[in-house]
Structure 1
């Protein structure tokens, strides 16, 4: 008996976007490097592959305790880079801390603090372009300076490390 041949058109390629914003992802263990970013739309907001000093911890409710981003260890006065293409939404002080926010496609917003801004609101930025320099003073940072990198879609906080995880591709049978 010969094997059954299935035409290519009869196969469906399903791209499961596990690990991208909106999907739940396990937090990266503290003080360990996260995976290298997938080639494409997103990159690290600090040069190289920074160490995660404190992982994302989603709040149970909008006003509950949690850690609404990740802390990446860096160097004081080191460059902070845009994680993706977008438009600077805000560059200034929030509650006494210098913050830069970038709006991206699909309703995503990344935030970076404490950062002395080198950009202004309304400015277009590309992935990897400098936003400013990292300052010292982030509470709980185990080194001279840590970047708190956040991600939101609308009012929902997401794990920014999910931007760096490649999608999982799987073939499904045609029914």
Structure 2
């Protein structure tokens, strides 16, 4: 087996497994034609997308002014997203590649929602949309501008950033965390 111009000799099944794991880690995720990952079993489970596919929806690494608080049941109290401190008129960016599912008013507030691979949907509010439903976007594409009016925001404007898979709310910050890889001992 060749690796980076040098020959790697595999002498045992254990060595072969170690080489395969290392090659998989170094070459990254499989091509887009691979089957989508299974849905997480709980609201706190990470969506499990490949690292590097997602970015903050505001420039830089904004301050989280209110964290995600998963509701115990679908109709229970909780905070179904995170609030990010921003500035009025600041660009709101798509956190990942997808298609705009909705751009308009919901309960008197301007909202943009983007559908992503694997059944994920991100939402952004309050955002004066600069996109329209059906429009494809890539990570970092401008969706609109942040407007004032988010209750409980400690600064002039906060972006409420939400994430769902189907009807299950997830912590959108989990998109930004690299996946955890743990190698187990060979017995």
- Taking structure 1 as the reference length, the TM-score comes to 0.82
Q: Is the 8 A contact 1:90 1:121 kept in 2?
A: yes
The equivalent position to 1:61 in structure 2, one of 64, 67, 73, is 73
Q: Which has the higher strand share?
A: 1
Do residues 154 (structure 1) and 166 (structure 2) align? yes
Q: Which runs of 5+ in 2 are unaligned?
A: 1-11, 26-38
1:135-161 CA-partner distances (Å, limit 9, x unpaired): 000000000000000000000000000
Q: Which has the higher helix share?
A: 2
**How far did 1:39 drift?**
5.6
Query: Aligned with 1:48: secondary structure?
Result: coil
Query: Aligned with 2:118: secondary structure?
Result: helix
Aligned to 1:78: 90
1:30-74 CA-partner distances (Å, limit 9, x unpaired): xxxxxxxx9610000000010000000000000000000000000
Aligned to 2:146: 134
Higher relative contact order (CA 8 A, sep 6+): 1
The equivalent position to 1:9 in structure 2, one of 10, 16, 21, is 16
The equivalent position to 1:106 in structure 2, one of 115, 118, 122, is 118
- Taking structure 2 as the reference length, the TM-score comes to 0.77
Larger radius of gyration: 2
Q: Is the 8 A contact 1:10 1:174 kept in 2?
A: no
